[in-house]
Structure 1
């Protein structure tokens, strides 16, 4: 099983770095504004020559869904880091991780360790989702600890104001993940996980589903446009994850992915 997962993940991570996401491609193909030809040519060159779509080949963030009562016979985290090392070394992608965040910012030259989040479910399969997170979009991550009396309109205003003031720095159109509830760290993970969802998938809860649709409309009304140039879409999609929280808090996290939407998923039955 380990070798099989290794093979699947190496293929998918390479694909995510070199071939434009199908969901994003639809919007990019329709775009006719400033630098549209350059954007489209970049995509064609990357795929035909097996080159990365962006020089910032990011850091890999994994979301590992494991069956609750299944014993894994290998070290998953070592597997994931081995996958990253193999893909980045063999494809000559830029290494982006440094040894220490503050005192020794020396490049590790292997793009590991990756970021790994473990989750458990009652299904009979292992599912591994991943994001290729560049520095630009990652730097726009945000956490707000709101008053528990905050309304939907309060939250909408915070999100819209934040994207209006900062969104152009994330290489729009943006894919946006929102985490509401839990604790501060839980909200951030929820917002990151939301970035792995398909554009057209909506929340199962009708209230949050409607809220997602409202945010997509309101954020596109900001007219940030492709690459912040005011033409075309500002966001591809918005997804919200929520979780029970303490009566005295209301965490709100925002995570952003750039117009390349470098993500993927593999699933293995057990």
Structure 2
């Protein structure tokens, strides 16, 4: 049995690190950037690390992707553990509470930054893997779904992605990590686009056709010249990842999700 406390402490540590320590893949790229405000951007993440202060005032809504081995026994429901981890971290550290209890009418802050969003995937084995994103409002607002004609080809999908980033990319603190979900149903495509954001920048899709699409889109999006913070210098996107799933013969759902330049994410693995 995996004890709740074991999961709780590992997840809490990972959430804190995601909020106060720059993603190493991102740091390497920022260190090479010499455009507008480069010194301020670099100073920001150095101070955050030294003082345990958030990298951004928008400390986000936490979204989890839980891969639960089919032979794993948990002490308590994983969603309960994860929500407790989020609440404890956001109370113990100077992280902004960003979650409201009702989306439309009351919009009263829960003052715990919970509930978190939890997606559960049942997998084989004895391992519990928890991936998460710290999603700020700016990047989340760029999410989009389009139900495309099933006869649409690769070029049409590329046009959709490029046009969306051209019109909106500067709004989400670029450079961006771009996740694309193709297939399934409407909700599945959006979930896939979010899951794609948990990938490391240099990872490529196992299917060489989708891997080539990722490379082509990364190249085309960087030609847009949006640049760091929308100021026209440096990269527009760090990387592009595609996740795909079988779909109905009459549908072709395509979803886009993005992460801002901080790409705050983490992974926790617990052996059963």
Same fold (TM over 0.5): yes
Superposed, 1:3-14 pairs within 5 Å as 3-14=5-16
Aligned counterpart in structure 1 of residue 218 of structure 2, from 209, 216, 219? 216
Aligned counterpart in structure 1 of residue 179 of structure 2, from 170, 177, 202? 177
Q: Which moved more, 1:1-10 or 1:95-104?
A: 1-10
- Identify the residue that residue 112 of structure 1 maps to in structure 2: 114
- Identify the residue that residue 142 of structure 2 maps to in structure 1: 140
1:162 matched to 2:164: yes
Three-state SS of the structure 2 residue aligned to 1:159 is: helix
Superposed, 1:66-85 pairs within 5 Å as 66-85=68-87
Q: Which moved more, 1:117-126 or 1:199-208?
A: 117-126
Three-state SS of the structure 2 residue aligned to 1:244 is: strand
TM-score where L is the length of structure 1: 0.99
- Identify the residue that residue 131 of structure 1 maps to in structure 2: 133
- Identify the residue that residue 206 of structure 1 maps to in structure 2: 208
Residues 156-175 of structure 1 deviation map (CA, whole Å, 9 limit, x = unaligned)? 00000000000000100000
Deviation at 1:4, TM superposition (A): 1.2
Stretches of structure 2 that go unaligned for 5 or more consecutive residues are none
The aligned length equals: 270
- Identify the residue that residue 96 of structure 1 maps to in structure 2: 98
Three-state SS of the structure 2 residue aligned to 1:239 is: strand
Deviation at 1:2, TM superposition (A): 1.4
Alpha-carbon distance in 2 for matches of 1:48, 1:69: 41
TM-score where L is the length of structure 2: 0.98
- Identify the residue that residue 249 of structure 2 maps to in structure 1: 247
Alpha-carbon distance in 1 for matches of 2:70, 2:168: 40
Deviation at 1:200, TM superposition (A): 0.5
Residue pair 2:72, 2:127 contacting (<8 A) in 1 also: no
Residues 181-206 of structure 1 deviation map (CA, whole Å, 9 limit, x = unaligned)? 00000000000000001110100000
Alpha-carbon distance in 1 for matches of 2:31, 2:73: 45
Residue pair 2:30, 2:42 contacting (<8 A) in 1 also: yes
Q: Which consecutive aligned stretches of 4+ in structure 1 deviate over 6 angstroms post-superposition? A: none
Three-state SS of the structure 2 residue aligned to 1:140 is: coil
Over aligned residues, Cα RMSD in angstroms? 0.7
Alpha-carbon distance in 1 for matches of 2:237, 2:194: 16
Three-state SS of the structure 2 residue aligned to 1:233 is: coil
Three-state SS of the structure 1 residue aligned to 2:203 is: coil
Aligned counterpart in structure 1 of residue 124 of structure 2, from 97, 122, 125? 122
Residue pair 2:53, 2:94 contacting (<8 A) in 1 also: no
Alpha-carbon distance in 1 for matches of 2:74, 2:12: 20
Alpha-carbon distance in 2 for matches of 1:265, 1:106: 30
Residues 111-152 of structure 1 deviation map (CA, whole Å, 9 limit, x = unaligned)? 000000000111320000000000000000000000000000
Residue pair 2:71, 2:125 contacting (<8 A) in 1 also: no
Three-state SS of the structure 1 residue aligned to 2:48 is: helix
Deviation at 1:73, TM superposition (A): 2.8
Deviation at 1:74, TM superposition (A): 1.1
Alpha-carbon distance in 2 for matches of 1:246, 1:71: 35
